[in-house]
Amino acid sequence: MQDNYLYINFIPYAKKEDVPDEADNIVLIVTKEQADRFEFQSSLAQNIDKAFSENKTTVITTLGEQRNFIAVAPDREKEALRLAGASVYASLNKQQSQTARLRGLDELTEDQRYAFLEGMLLSSYDFDKYKAKKKVQPIAVYIRRRSFPEVKIEELKMLAEAVSLTKTLVNEPVNYMDALRFSEVATDVGKQFGFETEILHKEKIQELKMGGLLAVNKGSETPPTFNIFHYKPENAFNEKPLVLVGKGVMFDTGGYSLKISGNMLTMKCDMAGGAAVLGTVAAIAGNKLPYHVIGLVPATDNKISANALVVDDVITMMDGTTVEVQNTDAEGRLVLADALTYAKRFEPELVIDMATLTGASAAITGSFGIAVLGNNQEKIDELREVGEQVYERLLQLPLWKEYKDLLKSSIADMSNLGGPIGGVSTSSIFLEHFTDYPWVHLDIAGAAFVKEAKGYRQSGATAVPVRLLYEFVRRMSRND
């Protein structure tokens, strides 16, 4: 399996003697009273006081044989602490620190400590595979076991590995990460994290009559794959599985409805939903959560050739529904529809699909959140609450019945395009047609891939909604 591209490593220790003598010091300060106990020199104390008066996270670096990285974090909200952790990592990286000891976690609750460390770890990702100059080794950060249990460190590491896997899958160019390679990687990931993979190739896809996946694939020289991930622990709480479905369009030209004006740039990210399904199952299996989960990822390119799908074509989906194609760039819903039909055979308790589906969603949420729709309000509300905690926030949009009229076709059962209004809702109404179970749709188009780095998110892939779904399943495991 390929490198995880994480450049920080947390090492638990029991005694001070276990930490190398040359280790730098990271001191986390979250209250003025705590700062007073350290009796810092006056100039340093003034800078710390200023940070508290401005309620601003600050990392102050003092240089010497042993460097001190003093992180002042007045705001103890979890997202603020994640950003504080990211700032600490940035300072360590800038000063080329190799080893450090972290102090001050005891002033926080366990959840707050987790958030701070999560920010440090997530911010250390650097996809440098194609760069001549690479980082040599991770920064070793020693954490006292009494401050943060080793089992929680291992859980966080496993989640970060899965998040990094997801980012890497999306960041890879399509001349490396096509549908066939994705299936190869998924098989390796299953062996590494502890779940079973089942790969359906083109002959089986044709046998299943997955008309949406096959139609989108017509323009590509690379055959499609349909990827199935099975994680069923012996102690699973749920009798019926949670099914996760992700759009795996490895690159999207728009087909004959060609993307123009630079809109084709970054379209390697159109498989971010499929990558997130693989990453989420990896995180759940790697941490051995007692929950039965199945992942489904239909994978293909959307390219152009003499045989490619064109507008006005009518295709027949896996469930027999005929669809008039009015836009070949509305292809994601076609491949997802077959996967949602396939999901019926598992009699799921809930299906959550995720996709970079519409520019309309990105226009509404930007990079700040995810559009959510579905037919199960209870689960939507639970996901929204979790989203606030992990800061992969959800904005609910309507599934009004009037939107269904916009998908009418004069020659087929329905059209794949709803017109210029309500793009997120009409795309979701299209998907809902292929469900007969509790279902939630996540449109991650705005948040899945960003141009500018900020905090613990690098430019490029963000791996949403892996952390959201992992925490959602973790809570359901605990509640059950």
Task: Name the residue among 124, 50, 113 with its Cα closest to residue 91.
Answer: 124
Distance CA 430, CA 416 (A): 7
Cis-peptide into 233, omega within 30 deg? no
Q: Which burial class, exposed, middle or buried, applies to 300 when counting CB atoms under 10 A from its CB (0-12, 13-18, 19+)?
A: buried
Structural tokens at position 206 = 């044709």
Alpha-carbon Rg of the chain, whole angstroms? 24
Helix (H, G, I), strand (E, B) or coil at 339: helix
Active-site pick, 232, 259, 344, 475:
259
Instruction: Dump the DSSP string for 435-464.
Output: --S-EEEEE-TTTSEESS-BTTB-SEE--T
Our answer to whether residue 94 is catalytic in this structure is: no
- Contact present, 327 and 258 (Cβ < 8 Å): no
Structural tokens at position 313 = 């074509």
- Quick one: which H or E segment has residue 244? strand 242-246
252 is in an annotated binding site: yes
Per-position b or e across 148-184, b if 16+ CB within 10 A of its CB = beeebbebbbbbbbbbbbbbbbbbbebeebbbbbbbe
- Contact present, 376 and 440 (Cβ < 8 Å): yes
Residue ranges of E strands in 365-448: 370-374, 394-396, 414-415, 439-443
- Contact present, 329 and 356 (Cβ < 8 Å): no
Structural tokens at position 65 = 């044989």
Task: Name the residue among 369, 375, 366, 300 with its Cα closest to residue 336.
Answer: 300
Our answer to whether residue 288 is catalytic in this structure is: no
Question: How many helices (H) does the chain have, and how many strands (E)?
Answer: 15, 20
Distance CA 74, CA 72 (A): 6
270 is in an annotated binding site: yes
- Contact present, 399 and 313 (Cβ < 8 Å): no
Q: What are phi and psi of 333, to 5 degrees?
A: -65, -25
Active-site pick, 101, 113, 144, 333:
333
Binding-site residues for Mn(2+), in ranges, read 247, 252, 270, 329, 331
Residues taking part in catalysis: 259, 333
Binding-site residues, in ranges, read 247, 252, 270, 329, 331
